[in-house]
Amino acid sequence: MKAIVLKPGTTSIQLKDVEEPMIQKPTDVKMKVLSVGICGTDREEASGGRADAPQGESELVIGHEMCGQIVEVGSLVKDFKVGDYAVFTVRRGCGHCEACLADHYDMCYTGQYTERGIKGRHGYQAEFAVDDEKYLIKIPETIKDIAVLTEPTTVVEKAIEEACHIQTSRLPGHNKESWLQGKTALIAGLGPIGLLGAMVLALRGAKVIGIDIVDKDSSRPKILEELGGTYINAKETSLDNLLKQHPQIDLILEAAGIAKLDFDLFDILGMNGVYVLTGVPAEGKPLDVNGAHIMKQIVLKNQVVLGSVNASFDNFHSAVKDLESGLKKWPTTIPKIISHKIPFKEFEKVLSKHSPDEIKVIITWAA
Ligand SMILES: [Zn+2]
Ligand SMILES: [Zn+2]
């Protein structure tokens, strides 16, 4: 079969014939890959950054944001059948820490986990993929055309779920399901993660503000506004002005990965607010920040700062549910988050280049 194969640590990446994976255990499922998203992680890998081949091999099939259709199931597979649409998760546990033993690989303590397409396991940019049904999430047929957004949606599901969990366990009078109702949530960075965050927050009843530096008439602010959010162009509006218009920001969902902006945002986080970071900034020159001012504010305003990466099985199920509700509520808006669909033979076009109107690029493998 064809696959996009990288020599980790180099920029050598090509479409190659590799051995087609086969069902090896009775609980394995084989999927025909339909499409696989490209994100910053793939581009970092392709530029010679963080990526590891499986043990004993020198190459890695990339790709972690997949969706597919089942073509074969092992004899003991219980919950899936041929023809079902589904998504494989990304991370596999280390097998010995407290979190992984409880199937919470996203919270692995040892760092010895593996990740398909990233760390020690082949990924999904290929015609077929096989894995245990334990790592498979069923997709309703109604969302099969946007199901490739499931994995990026899990990132915001985890960030928002953890923020709600913490807030409702420390603040009076709320439960996790209703905490966001009527709250003001600010999203920093309107890429796919930010826009999917806007969808989830709007579905939970929050008042959503999105901040970025793109023109207000471009596609990303437009999608935000169709979801009911308010766009702020950070080039035109100062944070002081933003604060005057929105004095109580309850939650900040950071999806920009820009350290300077992210530290500045502490100034507008409200009383008892929670700040969740999901962006991974590139290392650069040290920043000049007023540390004492930020620390004082976190203490005097009872604020929580939280980092969040990867996602649990529960977050995958919430992502599928929210994509279903989102597509029902905004049937023409949500599909626009997939801005480019590229046939696998032309993968090179998008892996090294990022076009200005890009939101989510996906590589298509089969119809
Ligand atoms: Zn990704
Ligand atoms: Zn672990």
**Number of domain units in the chain:** 2
Which spans in the chain are helix H? Answer: 40-46, 98-101, 150-170, 192-203, 219-226, 239-245, 259-264, 291-300, 313-329, 348-351
The CATH number of the domain holding residue 189 is: 3.40.50.720
Whether the predicted pLDDT of 145 surpasses 80: yes
Distance 7 CA to ligand 1 centre (A): 19
| Same-domain check for residues 53 and 115 | yes
Global pTM?
0.96
Q: Are residues 167 and 303 in the same domain?
A: yes
- Residues 10 and 102 placed together within one structural domain of the fold: yes
> How far, in Å, from the CA of 38 to the mean position of ligand 1?
6
187 and 299: one domain?
A: yes
Evaluate whether 204 touches 160 at the Cβ level (below 8 Å): yes
- Asked if 308 contacts 159 with a C-beta cutoff of 8 angstroms, the reply is yes
Q: Are residues 202 and 342 in the same domain?
A: no
Query: Which ligand sits closest to the CA of 92?
Result: 2
**CA 307 to centroid of ligand 1, rounded, Å:** 17
Q: Which ligand is nearest to the CA of 91?
A: 2
SS3 of 268, please? helix
For residues 135 and 193, membership in a common domain is answered with no
- CA 46 from centre of chain: 19
Evaluate if residue 337 carries a pLDDT over 90. yes
- pLDDT greater than 80 at residue 174: no
The ligand placed nearest to the CA atom of residue 101 is: 2
326 C-alpha vs ligand 1 centroid, how far in Å? 20
Query: What is the rounded CA–CA span in Å between residue 82 and residue 70?
Result: 5
The pLDDT value recorded for residue 283 is 82
214: DSSP letter: S
- Across 159-168, 322-331, 345-354, least confident range: 345-354
Q: Are residues 134 and 163 in the same domain?
A: no
Average pLDDT of 161-172? 95
Centroid of ligand 1 to alpha carbon of 360 (angstroms): 10
- Ligand 2 centre to CA of 103 (Å) is 9
The helix/strand/coil state of 106 is helix
CB 362 within 8 A of CB 342: yes
- 13 shares its domain with 89: yes
CA of 47 to the centre of ligand 2 (A): 28
Least confident among 88-97, 127-136, 143-152, 276-285: 276-285
Q: Give one DSSP letter per residue of 11-34, joined into a string.
A: S-EEEEE-PPP---STTEEEEEEE
* The residue to which tokens 């990867």 are assigned: 310
> Ligand 1 (ion): which residues have CB within 5 A?
39, 41, 65
Residues 173 and 227 in one domain: yes
DSSP β-ladder status, 2-6 and 304-307? unpaired
Q: What is the distance between the alpha carbons of residues 251 and 270, in angstroms, rounded to a whole number?
A: 8
Digit-coded pLDDT (tens) for 183-232: 999 999 999 999 999 999 999 999 999 999 999 999 999 999 999 999 99
From 291, 307, 323, the end of a domain falls on 307
338 vs 283: CA distance, rounded Å: 28
- Same domain for 96 and 178, yes or no, is no
Q: Are residues 190 and 303 in the same domain?
A: yes
| 157 shares a domain with 79 | no
Distance 307 CA to ligand 2 centre (A): 18
How far, in whole angstroms, is CA 1 from its chain's centroid?
28
Tell the burial category of 17 from Cβ atoms under 10 Å away from its Cβ (0-12, 13-18, 19+): exposed
Residue 121 sits in a domain of what CATH number? 3.90.180.10
Cβ proximity of 4 and 63 under 8 Å: yes
Has residue 325 been placed in a domain?
A: no
pLDDT computed for residue 38 by the predictor: 97
Structural domain span for residue 211? 153-307
- Confidence band for 173, pLDDT divided at 50, 70 and 90: confident
